Amino acid sequence: MPYQYDDQNIFAKILRGEIPNDTVLETEHTLAFRDIAPKAPDHVLVIPKGPYVTLDHFCAEASDAEIVDFHRAVAEICKMIGAGPGHGGEGFRAITNAGENGVQEVPHYHLHILAGRPLGPMLLMR
Ligand code: 5GP
């Protein structure tokens, strides 16, 4: 079934200005803000402004301009929070959860950028 976007999700409300957020960066097509329940000293959520549910949805249907803008924003954020190894930072992890097995809570595509401490193994095996 094709993706159906629920415009009542919490990030849609943030984009409409109905819920406040701690903005890190805003560009033409992208918004980045701090996670309300941070899992690391720096925990930034990067979201496209367009109505995309998951990474694969975004990659399949977003315009080239949206896709470029999003990833340039990621680069800028890594620089801003001092995490990019290429800029002397100690590194970061970028995670996106999709659907049921990915345990996605908010059905608006978002990339978590986590930094500021050693982040341990990628996944717990169980
Ligand atoms: P997911 O599990 O969908 O990958 O991650 C959703 C993330 O959104 C969680 O890390 C959660 O803490 C964050 N979150 C949920 N509601 C809000 C909110 O109202 N504001 C902000 N800034 N983050 C939120």
Give residue 68's domain range.
10-115
In sign, the C-alpha dihedral spanning 66, 70, 76, 77 is positive
Angle in degrees, CA 99, 119, 32, rounded to 5 = 55
Ligand 1 pocket, 104 CB below 6 A? Answer: yes
Consecutive H or E run containing 109: none
Is 0.85 topped by the overall pTM?
Answer: yes
Which tens digit of pLDDT belongs to each residue from 61-119? Answer: 999 999 999 999 999 999 999 999 998 999 999 999 999 999 999 999 999 999 999 99
Which CATH number goes with the domain that contains 34? 3.30.428.10
Confidence band for 1, pLDDT divided at 50, 70 and 90: low
- In degrees and rounded to multiples of 5, residue 115 shows phi and psi of -160, 170
- Nearby residues of 109 by Cβ (< 8 Å), 6 or more positions away: 47, 48, 52, 53, 54, 55, 57, 58, 96
- Please indicate, yes or no, if residue 104 is contained in any of the structural domains: yes
Known active-site residue 110: yes
Rounded Cα–Cα distance for residues 92 and 85 (Å): 8
- Please indicate, yes or no, if residue 123 is contained in any of the structural domains: no
- Please indicate, yes or no, if residue 42 is contained in any of the structural domains: yes
- Please indicate, yes or no, if residue 36 is contained in any of the structural domains: yes
Which of 57, 108, 110, 112 does the annotation list as catalytic? 110
- Please indicate, yes or no, if residue 71 is contained in any of the structural domains: yes
